[in-house]
Structure 1
Amino acid sequence: MAEPFKNLGWDDFRLIKAVADAKGLPAAAMTLGVNHSTVFRRLKQIEEQLGTVLFERHRTGYALTPAGEEMVALANRLDEEITAVGRKLAGREPAPSGELRVTTPDSLLIHLLMPMLATFRDRYPEVRLDIVLSNQPLNLSKRDADVAIRATDNPPENLVGRRVARIAWALYGRAADFPEPRAVTPEQLETCNWVSLGDSLGSLKTVKFVQENVAADKVAYKINSVLGLAEAVEAGIGIAHIPCFIGDARPSLVRLGPPDDDYAADLWLLTHPDLRHSPRVRAFLDFLAGEITRHRRFIEGQIELEAEALPVPDAPSGATA
């Protein structure tokens, strides 16, 4: 039976042990920090690889077969040995160092993350940051990136991470055009020109709203990135739905309505399971989670920007900061 074991890793033994301890998949998934479907799929792959069934499926839960009991006993021994080695190495782990590749959308980098990354570098000068600007999912298994920072309600199942905030969106206009923004009526908005994300981002609800509710001749400007939305509104091209952490940081913009939860998206810090215990990855995730939590109410549109709360990068030349 040595050959079937050849491609099994510690995470596979951990999964088997978690299912055995929890006697079911949902609780095991919660323990492992992954989705229920991921545990189901991986357990099936392990059983196929071993050529034997490890669990009997009952209405009351998952019960170990004799082969499963042997695997759990082996998992327990491995766990004890790994823990013992970990205790010996405690206190001797090297300081975080080396290159850390981080992928994030341009809008998050420019409008939110840059000051945080600068502070991280001050704290961990031995870590070199390699930032990959992308809105597309990268293959963290192939080290296209070590950490992904994404606004999504559906993070990839093969990654692990933390949901650190929920990004709020609201409708914004130029302050000079709306001296009394709280008194704006729907009839006034119907006469306005609009700025919108491009049709290539048509799956986003803000884009669908414009497509379904704004006359085509009133959509004056489209852009395929969140990065340029606020600048277009500041320039007077039209009104637009913008993330609150971008719109509220600009005195030249005003909200024309409260944040709409239907447009909000979770902000995730993600990494590959094999990388989460890397000193530089763990240090980065812990640091960034703490920084974002400090500004969470602002990101979620609950407070206005305080002068000292969050350093905001200078606006591009010609724009009002």
Structure 2
Amino acid sequence: MPAGWDDFRFVKAVAEGGGLAAAASALGIDHSTAFRRLAAIEAGLDAPLFERRRTGYVPTQAGAAMVEAAERIEADVTRFSRALAGQADTLSGELRVTAPAGFASGLMMPILAGFSARHPAIRLDLILAEEALNLSRRDADVALRASRGPDETLVGRRLTGIAWAVYGLAGGTYGDLAREPWIGVAESVAGGLFARFVRARAEPDRVRVRLNAVTGLRAAVAAGLGIAPLPCFEADSDAGLRRLTDPEPDLSADLWILTHPDLRRAARVRAFMDHVAAAIRPLRPAFEGRR
């Protein structure tokens, strides 16, 4: 019995998850159903698709070929979907937007509220994520992204610079910052940018706490755990915090709004990107750390 598209998609999920449990979770089925499904596909093809090892499921040659075919099919379907969405000339339908988690309340919600009021027929799906989602796969349609150099496969515009400085408590007394307690960030965040910044300014024993994301830095400083770099547009508006340094060039970045080239002419994408650009324009002084 020839395999159908759902079979290819299932085998790909098993390969990506390294086993049936992860595949079942990703596809919204139970483990026993996944077990029977794989057995039926292998029986229908009369070929084993995975080696069952203690470390997980490893595709056989036949399994790897099936996964490659599934990726090609998925890419073709996604390409068709993008091309179709890019032709949409009505201000309606779903728009998937991704932004850093730290932008959720102070920045994104007022912008989304204004856009929704102007275009009530567009349904917004906001995905807050520290990692950069894949716009080619349509994980999102539009990305608001802090970057020093956006992906060259995407199109969009630079909205503003983003300045960072070191902050402490407004009522604190600070001398040599190298001797103050610091709040660090894990090496895995932003390619180690923040970890290197703190390491260059404080000995390891001065780092009181380390976070695995920049999202919690402001709350940690406000709680009195130590000093840390924060984005000026966020920290300058907090009366409980005080800027201790000028904007730090080592941490500067730009704020971009981006989409896939296939989607740039879609009416809802154009409308959203124009709306965000207009909303950010008066906020540039705050983003750039100009008091």
TM-score w.r.t. length of structure 2: 0.67
Which of the numbers 208, 215, 218 marks the counterpart of 1:227? Answer: 215
Could you tell me how far apart the structure 2 residues matched to 1:109 and 1:202 are? 18
Could you tell me how far apart the structure 2 residues matched to 1:116 and 1:172 are? 27
153 and 210 in structure 1: CA distance in 2 versus 1, 3 angstrom threshold: same
Could you tell me how far apart the structure 2 residues matched to 1:222 and 1:282 are? 40
CA shift at 1:197, angstroms? 1.6
1:236 alignment partner, SS class: coil
- Residue type of the alignment partner of 1:170: A
RMSD: 1.6
Q: What residue ranges of structure 1 are gaps of 5+ in the alignment? A: 1-92, 179-183, 304-321
Q: Residue 152 of structure 2 aligns with which residue?
A: 157
**Aligned positions of 1:84-233 closer than 5 A:** 95-178=90-173, 184-185=174-175, 187=176, 189-201=177-189, 203-233=191-221
CA shift at 1:95, angstroms? 4.4
Q: Deviations over 1:138-180 (max 9, x none)?
A: 22122111001110012111100000001100010011213xx
1:166 alignment partner, SS class: strand
1:267 alignment partner, SS class: strand
102 and 174 in structure 1: CA distance in 2 versus 1, 3 angstrom threshold: same
CA shift at 1:265, angstroms? 0.4
Identity of aligned residues (%): 47
Q: Deviations over 1:1-56 (max 9, x none)?
A: xxxxxxxxxxxxxxxxxxxxxxxxxxxxxxxxxxxxxxxxxxxxxxxxxxxxxxxx
Contact kept? 2:91, 2:267, Cα under 8 Å: yes
Could you tell me how far apart the structure 2 residues matched to 1:213 and 1:167 are? 21
Contact kept? 2:179, 2:202, Cα under 8 Å: no
Q: How many pairs were matched up?
A: 204
229 and 164 in structure 1: CA distance in 2 versus 1, 3 angstrom threshold: same
Contact kept? 1:202, 1:208, Cα under 8 Å: no
Q: Deviations over 1:230-258 (max 9, x none)?
A: 10000000000000011111000000011
Q: Residue 239 of structure 1 aligns with which residue?
A: 227
2:215 alignment partner, SS class: helix
2:184 alignment partner, SS class: strand
CA shift at 1:94, angstroms? 5.4
CA shift at 1:215, angstroms? 1.4
TM-score w.r.t. length of structure 1: 0.61
Contact kept? 1:112, 1:245, Cα under 8 Å: no
Which of the numbers 277, 289, 297 marks the counterpart of 2:265? Answer: 277
**Aligned positions of 1:37-116 closer than 5 A:** 95-116=90-111
- Residue type of the alignment partner of 1:299: F
Could you tell me how far apart the structure 1 residues matched to 2:191 and 2:90 are? 43
- Larger mean CA deviation between 212-221 and 238-247 belongs to 212-221
Q: Residue 252 of structure 2 aligns with which residue?
A: 264
Contact kept? 2:208, 2:226, Cα under 8 Å: yes
CA shift at 1:214, angstroms? 1.1
Contact kept? 2:180, 2:206, Cα under 8 Å: yes
- Residue type of the alignment partner of 2:124: L
Q: Residue 32 of structure 2 aligns with which residue?
A: none
Q: What residue ranges of structure 2 are gaps of 5+ in the alignment? A: 1-87
CA shift at 1:270, angstroms? 0.3
221 and 111 in structure 1: CA distance in 2 versus 1, 3 angstrom threshold: farther
Ranges of 4+ aligned residues in structure 1 off by more than 4 Å: none
2:200 alignment partner, SS class: helix
Contact kept? 2:115, 2:275, Cα under 8 Å: yes
Q: Residue 65 of structure 2 aligns with which residue?
A: none
